[in-house]
Amino acid sequence: MNDSRIIPVVLSGGAGTRLWPLSREHFPKQLLRLASPDMTLLQQTAARCQGLTTGSDLIVVCNEAHRFLVAEQLRQLDVWTPHILLEPVGRNTAPGIAVAALHCLQGEPDAILLVMPSDHLIDDVDAFQSAVLDGLEAATEGALVTFGIRPTHPETGYGYIRARHDNATGPALPVAQFVEKPDLPAARDYLASGDYYWNSGIFLFRAESLLEELERQAPAIVDACRRALTEGRHDLDFLRLDEQAFAAAPSESIDYAVMEHTTRAMVVPMDPGWSDLGSWSALQQARTADELGNTQSGDTLLEDCRNTFVHADSRLVAGLGLDDCIIVETVDAVLVAKRDRIQQVKTVVERLRREGRSETLQHRRVTRPWGCYEGIASADRFQVKRIIVNPGQQLSLQMHHHRAEHWVVVRGTGRVTRGEESYLVSEDQSTYISLGTMHRLENPGVIPLELIEVQTGSYLGEDDILRFDDNYGRC
């Protein structure tokens, strides 16, 4: 990091439960291609900052469980040099932004941070970048700049920012008030007044300015985050924050901790085609509907339906005579709801969690740093998986106490370590790993290694893995 410049900071710690069943705790919405066939929301967030900064530094604050997914998606962009800070526990946005600011101060004390959620949609990148540049002078002079979306309708699902237009000398307006989500009459009044903007959750400020204000308003957050950073450790390409120190930080949003109390807040109005994609209704509005108001993706067939959203992931979904409905199909779960009830999907997720259902955590296809696996079938004492190992990657050296494994290669060539043996297996060949045997699987080739794994035993959970060596620091 060198001269003063904008450094993008992407907050990627959320679980996106309101977009269940597509968004799961271990594979949340920011890692999905929801608004583009080519890029995930995280990739779109990072890409829209190109041209705003002269360097390639990008800070991502993310959930520790998502670290390899985040790193791989940023690697695919081949634009940024990501500094990935791992949150051991979720503590809301104020601590996440604080550790990013503290990290910047170590190398670039004059850094201007552009803080963005990783899961929002912005259609007009030019309008977004223009607004950022409009706020740059105020941020350079020490203001804490946020960005307000010009409202198009009386929305009750967003917080609002009330701006002061008197004595305004530039595009950045003084903030008079942050307002919680209003009821419909209040939202109509806000729209009519012209003084209110939707709160986008996007910020621009000098790292030093933000920390000065945090020290005044929420010193416990700064103290905990400073210790979490100082006592953290580097792990491969990641910086792991110290768990005990970070957990001591009060769990507060940056709005509540700072922006609602500071006298340095300013807002830049913008209209970049923004949505927080906070529900299936929001995603429906962001996509193009047909003449009957229906929005479809995947293998779908609608007959006599209106204003209905259908997303099919793995099979044909047919609808008949539906009105104002949301249908989301995945390989292991289907959501069907009236559109006016879709905000309550979180209650479904909470119930599933209480019942210990895995459908809240991950999809049937599970991504790993070496590749992925997908459950095919399971019953008492056996399960079948499809495993794909990327070229040049290998699983950990491991052992299982309760299961044996039979591998059948269907594509590519694998190198198997089994006890003291090491040998190759190719297409149409198989091998057997007995219970309690130390083993490892590697793909030494240049094409993906694909195999079918049959597990048998008294317990088949993923926690029956004793690792002895691992390229990804999971021992």
Give the per-residue pLDDT at 442: 97
Q: What is the pLDDT along the chain (475 residues), one digit of tens a residue?
A: 335 689 999 999 887 789 999 999 999 999 999 988 899 999 999 999 999 988 889 999 999 889 999 999 999 998 899 999 999 999 999 999 999 999 999 888 888 999 999 999 999 999 999 999 999 999 999 999 999 999 999 998 899 999 998 877 789 999 999 999 999 999 999 999 999 999 999 999 999 999 999 999 999 999 999 999 999 999 888 999 999 999 999 999 999 999 999 999 999 999 999 999 989 999 998 899 999 999 999 999 999 999 999 999 999 999 999 999 999 999 999 999 999 999 899 999 999 999 999 899 988 888 899 999 999 988 899 999 999 999 999 999 999 999 999 999 999 999 999 999 999 999 999 999 999 999 999 999 999 999 999 999 999 988 899 999 998 887 6
CATH number of the CATH domain containing 426:
2.60.120.10
**Do 232 and 132 belong to one domain?**
yes
Give the per-residue pLDDT at 39: 95
**Do 170 and 221 belong to one domain?**
yes
Return the C-alpha torsion angle 60, 395, 330, 412, nearest 10: 120
> 192 lies in a domain?
yes
At which of 275, 303, 324 does a domain end? 275
CATH number of the CATH domain containing 35:
3.90.550.10
> 285 lies in a domain?
yes
**Do 386 and 292 belong to one domain?**
no
**Do 13 and 55 belong to one domain?**
yes
> 187 lies in a domain?
yes
At which of 299, 319, 350 does a domain end? 350
Host domain of residue 383: 365-469
**Do 396 and 290 belong to one domain?**
no
**Do 271 and 284 belong to one domain?**
no
> 475 lies in a domain?
no
**Do 163 and 215 belong to one domain?**
yes
> 459 lies in a domain?
yes
Q: What pTM, to 2 d.p., does this model score?
A: 0.88
Give the per-residue pLDDT at 475: 63
**Do 310 and 383 belong to one domain?**
no
At which of 324, 350, 376 does a domain end? 350
Give the per-residue pLDDT at 408: 97
> 249 lies in a domain?
yes
**Do 322 and 433 belong to one domain?**
no
> 358 lies in a domain?
no
**Do 204 and 172 belong to one domain?**
yes
**Do 336 and 315 belong to one domain?**
yes
**Do 319 and 245 belong to one domain?**
no
Work out how many domains the chain is built from and give that number. 3
Three-state secondary structure of the chain: CCCCCEEEEEEECCCCHHHCCCCECCECHHHCCCCCCCCCHHHHHHHCCCCCCCCCEEEEEEEHHHHHHHHHHHHHHCCCEEEEEEECCCCCHHHHHHHHHHHHHHHCCCCEEEEEECCCEECCHHHHHHHHHHHHHHHHCCCEEEEEECCCCCCCCCCEEEECCCCCCCCCEEEEEEECCCCHHHHHHHHHHCCEEEEEEEEEEEHHHHHHHHHHHCHHHHHHHHHHHHCCEEECCEEECCHHHHHCCCCCCHHHHHHCCCCCEEEEEECCCEECCCCHHHHHHHCCCCCCCCEEECCEEEECCECCEEEECCCCEEEECCECEEEEECCCCEEEEEHHHHHHHHHHHHHHHHCCCHHHCCCCEEEECCEEEEEEEEECCEEEEEEEECCCCECCEEECCCEEEEEEEEECCEEEEECCEEEEECCCCEEEECCCCCEEEECCCCCCEEEEEEEEECCCCCCCCEEEECCCCCC
> 257 lies in a domain?
yes
